[in-house]
Structure formats: C-alpha cells, structure tokens
Structure 1
Amino acid sequence: MVSSNAVLRLSIDHQSPLARYRQLLEQFKILFRDKHLGEGDKLPSSRELAAMLGISRSTTIKVYDILLSEGFLVSQPKKGLYVAHMASLLPGELVHNKASIKAQSQPDSVASIELNSGIDVSAFPNKAWAASMRRSWLNPDIGVIQGAYHDGLPKLQEYLAEYLANVRGLDCDAEQIIITSGNRDALSILSHALLSDHPETGRVWLENPCFPAMSRFFHWLGRDLKPLAVDQEGAQTPLADLSEANKVHLALITPNRQYPLGVAMSSLRRQSWLSLLAQANKARVEQNSVKDAGLWVIEDDYDNEFYYQGRLGVPLMNLDESRRTFLLGSFSKVMFRGLRLGYIVSPKEHVKRIKESQRQLGPSASLPMQSALLDFMEYGHFNAHLRRMRRLYRDKRDYLDAQIEAYLGAYCDWQKPNGGMHTLVYIKDKWIQKYLSISLQKTSYLDVALMESLLKQTVLVSALSPYYFDKSFDKSFDKNNVKQGFVLGFTEPSKEDIEIVLTHVRQVFENLLAD
C-alpha cells in the first residue's frame, strides 16, 4: 500500500512540448524538495502509476530507473520502491537545475535527450536472448572453455558465411571470417597486418567527412592521414601515385551508405575503385615492390542490415579481382553495443597473415558471447528480430521525416534515407549567411553554435561540420567545402523524444537567427 497521498499531486500535460517522463521526473523532485514525499514513503508500482496517469508503463519505469540511479529512491526486494533519506533534504535550487548541470558536465547523462542511431532497447527480445545464453552454457564446447578458437567459434563462422551469402550476396567461406570484438578491434588487426612493417611509408585514406573516431584512431596509431573527398557518387579515389614501389596505401570506405552523408556509391565510382585496385596491384607485381605496396581497401559494411526501399549494392569485395579488399561487419547495430562482436572477411590469400596479427595482438572477442549468438541465430531469433527492427525503424524514420517537415522545413533541406539508422539534414545556405552576418560568437559554424545552445538545455544533437577534417589533418582544408547540418538518429529515441528534440532545435534556430 502506498504510504503517502502526495502522488495524487502528479499529473501529465499531454499538450506540453516537454517529454512526459521529464514532466514526471521534475514533479517527483519537487515533491521531495517540499517534503510532500519523505524518507520511507512507499511509491506505487510502475504499473499502478502508469494506470493512474494514463501513460505507458515504459515511461514510469524510465522515471523510476532515473530516480533510483540518482539516489532518490531505494528498492526493497519483494516490497517495492521507497523514498531514500537524501531526497527530503534536496535543496530547492538543485531540483530545477540538477538535470542541466549534470548534462553539461556529463553529456551522456540519463537526464539528457538525444537523437541517437543506437538500438531501441525496449524492442529487444530479452527472454529469447536469455534462453540462448542459458542453452549455450548448459553443454558448452570444450574449445570455448579452453579459449582454443583464437579467430572465432567455427560454427559461428560457418553460419556467418551462409548469412552473408544470403543477405549480402558475398561469396566467402567460413575460413575467411575472423571474429572480432568490434570495428576498433578489426581495424587494429588489419593495421597491424598491413602497416606495421611500414611505419614510415604507410598512408591511410579516410572519407571526408567521416566518423570522427576513425581519424582519431589512426592518428593515435601515428599514421599519415589523407582525406578522400565525397560527392554525390560516393568517395573519390585517392589523389596520389599508388604505383610507388615502397608505398603502402590503406583506404577505409563505406560504399553502400557513406557515413555520415548517406550517399550510395555509384556504379561508375565503384568501377573507378576496382580499376585503381587492379592497376596498383599490377604495378606492384611488375616493379617487384615490397609485398604490401600499392592499395588496400577496407570496406565498412556498417548498418546495412537496415534497408527500407530498393536493394543494397553488392559488396565491393565481391568484385575486386585484385583480392586486396577486406569487409568489416558488426553486430552492435542489430543486437546491442555491449555484445562487442564483429567480423572481418578476408580474401583467402591473406587469411593466414590476418589471423597471425590477431594472435599477436591477442583475441578479444568473447567466446561465450559467440556461443550465445550462434544459439540465437540457430533458433531463428536473429532473423526474426532483424525483421521486427526493420519494420520498427522504418516507422520511426517516417515519423522523423514528418517531424522535420513540421519543425525544420523552413531552415533545412533533407532527403528521407532508403536505409540506415539516421537522417542527415542540411542547413539552408541563406540561414548560414545570415548567422555569419549577425554572429559575435567565436565559432563560425552555425550548426556548432546550435549544438552548443541545445546542450545547455540538455538536448544532444550531432552537428555535421565536426565530421570534416580540419587543418591538422588536411593541408588543403577549405572551410567553404564544409557542409553544415545535423546527423539525426531515429532508431534509439522514442517518437516522443524525437518531437521534443526538434521542438528545441526550432526554438534555438529562432533565437540565434532573430533580427
């Protein structure tokens, strides 16, 4: 039984632009501050509170989880939730400002709202995954216990070879698949295998713009970074002589859906890359160059499980007769980030050296998790989950598209993506020019100024301009080539959060660009 009538003061304004969970969270903290709820008071269950307020149970669960994590509530097994001692002593100022202060010091705070291209955890089949984890450990493979499979669980490699053939049209055998703990692990292995013997002559080419963590990663490795310009046909080929006898070039590209621009590489551009690979390999053979000289390509096949219209292009690796292209894949977008499993598909000629590099660096992909994932796949849960998430994410993509039209149509241009997990919006040039004419701020990028203003309201959006190389990486850097806008993920947030974020974005646009 609830020990206080104070919860009757709670209410939800369905017309408010503020997300329902944030309304409820703020009201609870006011009740704590004003001592209407005190130490030891029992709260209604999440189901009872949801029924009382006429909202979904997921909203009340989220609020209770936040209050538990912040120390306002304590949970007593088989009894329920109770107000903790500190809540009744909460200063009034802290109630109103706690969320914004925490978000500024910790941008990934639970108090913030973000349009992220992560997974929708509320739709994950937890029971099926728990059953797979249990079954996989009831009678485990002795090689899993002994850590014998350095390059991955053999049965999982076999399943993946079949999966990639059916879903991506990739012709490969199980022996070509090396299981990794994600993209960073995969890039470490490939960099070690292809570049470690050439510390002075190895060069890395990255798309411009690209995921900022990629440029930081290769910079941390001490590699010479060069940009690949991206246009409407995809990543352009390197502007360099790739036939030099002692030079090793490694290009990381995303042909099927360039990140973050979302451009699919055209057939003509694909052919340009394939021709360049063939020419560079031919020159290497004719010149009797060092074994790694010429061009290598890493094809990152990120989030290509999610396509909503049309068909995906065949992987570049399938078409590369020079056999110098590697395919990367990850399960973090389909399953969950914490799984930390991915894979490299290597040409047969290079499998041995890739596996040797993995052994030297040390295997980091969890074998028990590989066993659970295999069980999840063999019981049909993986494919069923993927089908469900495609439907869910397509619906969220369409909802975001409608909200962009309603809230940002006057300020931005965009196209609804055919696949993936984010939508890219570009700020219209007239607003960029107006901002430059009236701004007294240090930054010259409107999207960054908007992002910083939103952060003060604990709203996190990803500005596009920071994805571009700056002068430290690109000597030919030209600010005029940098596009401004936002990378808006639609897969992780709720529809409620999508609307509230875009409401804030429009308000900040209006404030910054006011005459």
Structure 2
Amino acid sequence: MFKHAQLESVKAWIGDPTHGALPLHARIQRAIRQLILDGALDAGRPLPASRALAKSLGVSRDTVESAYGQLHAEGFIERRVGSGSFVSGKLQRTPGRSSAPRTGARPGPAPAPQPGPHLSQRGAALFRDGGVRDFPAPRPFAPGVPETRGFPLHTWERLQRQVLKEHGTQALRHGPPQGVEALRRAIADHVNLERGGHATAERVLVLTSSQQAMTLCAHVLLDPGERIFIEDPVYHGARKAFDAAGLRCVPVPLDGQGMQVARLGADAEPARAVFVTPSHQFPTGTTLALERRLALIEWARQRQAWIIEDDYDSEFHYAGRPTACVQGLDAHERTIYIGTFTKSLFPGLRIGYMVLPPQLVAPMTVARTLLDGHSAPIPQLTLARFMEDGHFGAHVRAMRGVYAKRRDVLAELIHRHLGDFLAPTVPAGGMQMPCTLSCDIPERTLIDHARRAGIELLGLSGLHASDGGQPGFLMGFAAYTPAEMESAVEALAEVLRKSSSSTHGQGPRDRG
C-alpha cells in the first residue's frame, strides 16, 4: 500500500485544477508516474491493489485499472499474475529530483534567478542584437505526405470566416514573433493531454515547420565545429540542418529499443546536444525504451547538454497509446520538443512549433525574427479555433483509422507483387513503411527507374551515416488510396523485373 503521504500526494495531484483538462485515469496515472520519477516509489515496490486504491481515491476500479494499464504500457510498472503490480525493476531514481511530485501549486519563496543559458557565439550575438522586429500533387510512394482529400475544408472555411469577422483588418497585420497566444495555448493543451508533456503557452514558439525548428537549434545552441549526437540512420532534414550550421554530427547506432544511449556516456569527447525521434524513429519506426529515455535525460543533466526531440508524427499510432514524450519526463528542462501540423493536417498550412525550456524562449524568439519574422496570423487563429472546438482531435482520429487500413493494404500488396524483391517492416505507427531490398539491384538504379515510371521512393542507404545500412526504400502510404497503391505497386513490380533482368542477369536473392 501507499504510505499516507504518498496517497495524499496522488489526491492532491488529481484534485489540482490545473490538471482538470485530463481524464481522471490520466491524472491518476501521471500522479503515480511522478512519484516513481521522483524516487518516492522505489524500483520493485508493490503498488496498492486496484480495488483498494480505487476505494481510497473514491473512484471506480476501472479508472485505476486504466491508469495501471498505461503505466505498464510505458514501462513504469510490472504486472504479475497472482502477485499484483510493482514499480519496474529497470528504473532507478534520477539524482536531483524532489521527493514529492509536482502538484501545480503556487510555490513559496521565489527561487533564485537561474544563470543565463549557454548559447553558441552566433546565438548570443543574435540575442544581443535584438533581431528584426518588422514583421505539387504527391506521387506514390512519397513518404511523410498526409491525405488531404478528406480534410474538413468546409469547417476550416467557416472558422476562418469567424476569425475574419471577429478580428477584421487586425488579422492582416504582423503577428507576434512567438506566435498568436490562442494557438500557443491550444498547442500547450494538446502536448500536455496527448503527449504527456509539461508545456505552457509561454514556452511555445510557433514556427513555419519542424525544419525551421532544427535550423534554429543548430544555430542558436551550438557553434560551428561542435559535436551533436544523431541517430544512425537519421532523418535527412535534421542531418542537413546540422551540417549547414557547421556542426560535427556523431552517429549513434540503433537496436530494437531505439538509440543506444549508453554510447553517449562512453564517448570521451563531449557533445553539446543529441537529436532523437523517440516516439517513432525515422526511418526504422522503433520506439525508444523508457529506461533509455531516462538515461538520456540523466546524460543531458550531467553534461548540461540539450535534447532535441522531434515528435514528427506521433498522432498516428495504430496499437494502444504512444509512450509519453521525453520532454514530459525531463525535470531538468534540457529538452526542446518539436512538433508540426504539416503531417497531422496539411502541408500548405506551414505551422510547426517548439516547446522550449523557459531560459531559451527569448533567445529562440529573437533568432526566429531573422528567418521570417512571424507566422501568418489568420491561419494561426483559425487553427487555434479548429483545435479548441475539437475538430483537430476528430480529424486525427479519422485519419488514424484510414492510415491503419492503408498500411495493411500496402503490406499485403508488397507481399503479393514484390515479395521476391522487397521485405517490408510493418510499422506500429507513422505514415511510411521501411522495406529492405532482397535482390542485387543497386538501390540508386531502382530509385531512378521508378521515378521515370511515376513512382517516388526514398532510399534507406542515404539515411545512414555509416556504411552498414541495408539498401531499401521508405514507402509512404498515407496519401494514397488502395486502388492508387495497387496500380503503383504493379508498376513498381514491372520496374523491378526489368531492372533485375538487365543487371548482370541477376534475379532475386535466394532467401532460403
């Protein structure tokens, strides 16, 4: 059973008005999660039986079971048949955490002023100078492209008319460089509710894209020549942003549990940052294990380094709920969380965002003014209303169902028509499917031949920093109907057959 103080902490957490937007089971889950993270519940500690805890909290047993189920799915607890629930033995207390969970209550004495953030020389110069205050149809199988034909355009148009009627010509003026407050508030609510984050409107910076966010991180946080750890393989847009800033990218290999975080601490030469896609790694689709997330946070705390977390398509998961974002687990405020609406809504919207540690909000906002000044107010205000009225959540849920079916269709089509050439890995989420080549045709040759046949393929080899990457493709499925995919797969099969017969007379590899 919980000690009296622990039970009272859970009651205080779930009764705090600042958590009122969360469902009851989520409040219980996060309160217990915080007790575990703060070390108030040690590894291996038994938890109260769901019936007993429900009685103590005055809630239904199903509510407690839902909370325990999510804690188990995220790896915080273990459930043993006939024995009960226990804090996971893999977890260790992170030094520097308080002994009680945050409750959102107003603190007593004001904390001492924190030292200013350690910026790059370029970032410090941008902050000092004050910045500038003036404010095609996709082809199969291009990855990362959402379906736009089912977007509720009439709803969007209606909300935009409401915005124009309410704001008039004021909506035509320059917007604040940090973003419209209504949208920042809606984003913070979304990140907290859906991703388990710790966000406030004051910590959100609205941008045009996640690419802009990575460029800002590269230029503001690090100097040319400094090292940044990246996943191997890695999202090509991130690698290009870091290379353009003159950073030294250090690849870290992956396994079935994501980035091998232990290698960061074993590296003798320090690095100032790490870039990760923990919820749905690009391009492999793996999820970073909970113990590695906590180890990553501890590494950043010890080294005073930054974690750049790209949560690019976490809305689209097809089995249960996704694990909480790293930012929501980081009590030391070393994580920059990046999100985008390009994939969850439509690319033409051009709205992304960062949730920043408080000490980075002003430097990042000032630096942003030198890139494009601000994001257009009318789309921001419309999106804020779209989210507040529940349309965003409804659209994402609808697309989640559509994409899951299309993923299954593509997997079946590949097995039926391309089984001698490609081996797909069916992802648990996301909008694209990695497929490795099981024949001896050069990857680059196939990409070129497929493009001439009207098919877009993203090669996997080029996403690896090392030479050990297996050739293959990343095939997007979200934007294409089953009929469109079937036609494209048949065309791709013909391309592969022709390429196979013309490449030194070689056919598919013997996979037996």
TM-score norm. by structure 1 comes to 0.66
Q: 1:347 aligns with which of 348, 357, 367?
A: 357
Separation of aligned partners in 1, 2:353 and 2:452: 39
Query: 1:232 aligned to 2:256?
Result: yes
- Three-state SS of the structure 1 residue aligned to 2:167 is coil
Separation of aligned partners in 2, 1:424 and 1:484: 10
Q: 1:380-418 deviations in whole A, cap 9, x for unaligned?
A: 222221121111111111111211121122333223211
Q: CA deviation at 1:146?
A: 4.2
Q: 2:149 aligns with which of 122, 125, 144?
A: 122
Q: Is contact 2:228-2:249 (8 Å) kept?
A: yes
Where does 1:106-505 land on structure 2 (aligned, <5 Å)? 113-140=140-167, 144-195=171-222, 198-200=223-225, 202-237=226-261, 239=264, 249-281=272-304, 295-428=305-438, 431-432=439-440, 435=441, 446-469=442-465, 477=466, 479=467, 481-505=468-492
Q: Is contact 1:249-1:296 (8 Å) kept?
A: yes
Separation of aligned partners in 2, 1:148 and 1:459: 40
Q: Is contact 1:461-1:487 (8 Å) kept?
A: yes
Separation of aligned partners in 1, 2:231 and 2:497: 33
Give me the identity figure in percent.
Answer: 27
Separation of aligned partners in 1, 2:326 and 2:473: 28
Separation of aligned partners in 2, 1:357 and 1:242: 31
Structure 1 residues 320, 373: closer, same or farther in 2, change over 3 A?
A: same
- Three-state SS of the structure 2 residue aligned to 1:178 is strand
Q: CA deviation at 1:127?
A: 0.8
Separation of aligned partners in 2, 1:243 and 1:360: 36
Query: 2:293 is aligned with what amino acid?
Result: R
Structure 1 residues 109, 300: closer, same or farther in 2, change over 3 A?
A: closer
Q: Is contact 1:242-1:249 (8 Å) kept?
A: no
Q: CA deviation at 1:467?
A: 1.7
Query: 1:169 is aligned with what amino acid?
Result: G
Separation of aligned partners in 1, 2:220 and 2:238: 18
Separation of aligned partners in 2, 1:339 and 1:109: 15
The size of the alignment, in residue pairs, is 366
Structure 1 residues 364, 205: closer, same or farther in 2, change over 3 A?
A: farther
Q: CA deviation at 1:267?
A: 2.4
Q: 1:247-282 deviations in whole A, cap 9, x for unaligned?
A: 65222110011111111112232233123113213x
Q: Is contact 1:401-1:416 (8 Å) kept?
A: yes
Separation of aligned partners in 2, 1:376 and 1:496: 31
- Three-state SS of the structure 2 residue aligned to 1:140 is helix
Query: 2:377 is aligned with what amino acid?
Result: L
Q: 1:45-64 deviations in whole A, cap 9, x for unaligned?
A: xxxxxxxxxxxxxxxxxxxx
Q: Is contact 2:180-2:380 (8 Å) kept?
A: yes
Q: Is contact 2:175-2:377 (8 Å) kept?
A: no
TM-score norm. by structure 2 comes to 0.67
Query: 1:509 is aligned with what amino acid?
Result: L
- Three-state SS of the structure 1 residue aligned to 2:199 is coil
1:288 aligned partner: none
Structure 1 residues 388, 219: closer, same or farther in 2, change over 3 A?
A: same
**Is there any run of 5+ residues in structure 1 with no aligned partner, and where?**
1-107, 282-294, 436-445, 470-476
Separation of aligned partners in 1, 2:331 and 2:260: 20
- Three-state SS of the structure 2 residue aligned to 1:310 is coil
- Three-state SS of the structure 1 residue aligned to 2:149 is helix
Separation of aligned partners in 2, 1:190 and 1:349: 14
Query: 1:256 is aligned with what amino acid?
Result: S
Q: CA deviation at 1:217?
A: 2.3
Q: Is contact 2:229-2:271 (8 Å) kept?
A: no
- Three-state SS of the structure 2 residue aligned to 1:460 is coil
Separation of aligned partners in 1, 2:234 and 2:337: 17
Structure 1 residues 174, 263: closer, same or farther in 2, change over 3 A?
A: same
Q: Is contact 1:116-1:493 (8 Å) kept?
A: no
**Is there any run of 5+ residues in structure 2 with no aligned partner, and where?**
1-135, 506-512
- Three-state SS of the structure 1 residue aligned to 2:446 is helix
Q: Is contact 1:330-1:341 (8 Å) kept?
A: yes
Query: 1:447 is aligned with what amino acid?
Result: E
Between 1:259-268 and 1:146-155, the stretch displaced more is: 146-155
- Three-state SS of the structure 2 residue aligned to 1:225 is strand
Query: 2:244 is aligned with what amino acid?
Result: W
Q: Is contact 2:265-2:299 (8 Å) kept?
A: no
Q: Cα RMSD between the aligned structures? A: 2.4
* CA radius of gyration, larger in: 1
Between 1:453-462 and 1:168-177, the stretch displaced more is: 453-462
Q: 1:410-459 deviations in whole A, cap 9, x for unaligned?
A: 3332232111101111123xx23xx5xxxxxxxxxx22222222223222
2:23 aligned partner: none
Q: 1:83-138 deviations in whole A, cap 9, x for unaligned?
A: xxxxxxxxxxxxxxxxxxxxxxxxx787x644443121211111111112211111
- Three-state SS of the structure 2 residue aligned to 1:298 is strand
Structure 1 residues 220, 199: closer, same or farther in 2, change over 3 A?
A: closer
Query: 1:258 is aligned with what amino acid?
Result: Q
Q: CA deviation at 1:492?
A: 0.7
Q: 1:158-204 deviations in whole A, cap 9, x for unaligned?
A: 12111111111112211111111111221233233312xx334x223
